Amino acid sequence: MVNYRFLGSSGLKITELAYGNWLTHASQIENEQATACVHAALDVGITSFDTADVYANTAAETVLGEALSGQRRESLEIFTKVYWPTGPHGANDSGLSRKHIMESINGSLRRLQTEYVDLYQAHRYDVATPLEETMTAFADIVHQGKAHYIGVSEWTAPQIRAGAALARELKIPFVSSQPQYSMVWRVIEAEVVPACVDEGISQIVWSPLAQGILTGKYLPGQPPPAGSRATDGHGGASSIRSMLNDDVLTRVQNLRPIADELDLSLAQLALAWVLQHDNVAAAIIGASRPEQIHENVTATGVTIPVELMARIDDVLDTAIVRDPALTAPGAPRAR
C-alpha cells in the first residue's frame, strides 16, 4: 500500500504516488478503461488524484469526476489546475485573471462533482496579469471553501517566492509546486527546490518516468513500440520527441543492472529515485492499463543506497538536463 507524506509545511497528507490523467482520460483511452485505472489506484491505496481543466479541453475532469463518484469525498485529495486555454479559446478563456480563475474553479467543481478541491494550482505563471490579482482571487476561493490549499506548476524560484510572500499576507496556505522532475530532467534542483524549502512548499512532480523513456521500452536504433506515447497523435508524440535519441536511450538501458540489484523494473527504479528526495511529496503517475498501477506501487518504500544513486548519475551523465532556465519555457513572455 502507498504511504502518505505531508504537503509542504501544511497538515495535509497526500499519497506519495498520485494518479494523474493528463494525455489519458478522454484522449488516449476509453472512459471505461479510465475508470478501471482510477479504481485500480484506489485499490492500492492511492487517494490523491491530479487533473487540470485544460486536459482534453475539460473532458478529463469530467471523466475523473465520474470515476470517483460514490467514493467517500473526505477520504480523497483532489487536485486541479487553471491557466491554459479552455472552451472556445476566447479572450478571457486563459490566464490567471480574476475573471478566468473564478469562472474556472466553478467549472472544475461542476465537472469533478465536488463542492471543493483539496489543492488548486496555477498551471503556469501569467506575466500578463498582476500577481496581486491572481493571489487575491486564489485567496477568495480558499475563503469561500472552494479550495483548501493553493499551489503552482512550473513557476521559477523568484515567482514562487513572490507568490509565497503574498500568500502569507493573505493568510492562505501556499503549499505545492508541480514541476517536471525525473532522473534525466532535473532543472528544479538548483533554484526551485531551495526556494520551496525556504517557503515550506513541497514538489508534486509530473513525468517522473520522463514520458515513458525511463521505462526502457524505447530501444536505441529501433522504432517506438506500437501503441506507445511516442506514436500517439493526441499530443503524446510531441511531448516525448526531444528525448528519443540513441544516446539517452542507450544510457537508460545501461541502468538495468542497477534496477536488477534492487529487484526493480526500470520504471520502479525511476519512481523510487524521485521519491528519495525529501522535498518531493508525491510523484504523479498515469496509466492506460490497471496493471501499470500495480507495477508502479512497488516503488514505494524502496530505499536506494547512496552508492547506487551515484552510479545512476554516472550512467546517465550527459543525458541529464539541469539548466534552471528551462523552467516554464511555455509561459507567455509579455503582456
Query: Residues 207-226: pLDDT tens digits?
Result: 999 999 999 999 998 877 76
Q: Where are the domains of the chain?
A: 4-209+253-326
**pLDDT recorded at residue 290:** 92
pLDDT digits 0-9 by tens, 168-196: 999 999 999 999 999 999 999 999 999 99
User: Looking at domain 4-209+253-326, which CATH architecture does it have?
Assistant: Alpha-Beta Barrel (3.20)
pLDDT digits 0-9 by tens, 41-51: 999 999 999 99
Task: Provide mean pLDDT across the span 135-140.
Answer: 98
Q: Which residues pair with 5 in a beta bridge?
A: 14
DSSP 8-class letter at 317:
G
Task: Provide mean pLDDT across the span 120-137.
Answer: 97
Is residue 34 within 8 Å of 286, Cβ to Cβ? no
Using DSSP's 3-state secondary structure scheme, residue 123 falls into: coil
Q: How many CB atoms lie within 10 A of CB 75?
A: 8
Q: How many CB atoms lie within 10 A of CB 305?
A: 10
User: What is the SS3 assignment for 166-196?
Assistant: HHHHHCCCEEEECCECCCCECCCCCCHHHHH
**pLDDT recorded at residue 28:** 63
pLDDT digits 0-9 by tens, 308-335: 999 999 999 999 999 999 987 766 676 5
Whole-number Å distance between alpha carbons of 303 and 63? 35
List, by residue number, the catalytic residues. Answer: 55
243 pLDDT exceeds 90?
Answer: no
Q: Answer whether 0.85 is exceeded by the pTM.
A: yes
Contacts of residue 179, defined as CB under 8 A and 6 or more positions apart, other chains included, come to 153, 154, 187, 188, 192, 203, 205, 206, 327
CA 134, 140, 145, 150: dihedral to nearest 10 degrees? 30
Among the listed residues 310, 203, 286, 248, the one whose alpha carbon sits nearest the alpha carbon of residue 28 = 286
Phi and psi (nearest 5°) for 64?
A: -65, -45
**pLDDT recorded at residue 244:** 83
The cell 467517500 sits on which residue? 72
Contacts of residue 218, defined as CB under 8 A and 6 or more positions apart, other chains included, come to 212, 224, 225, 228, 230, 244, 249, 252
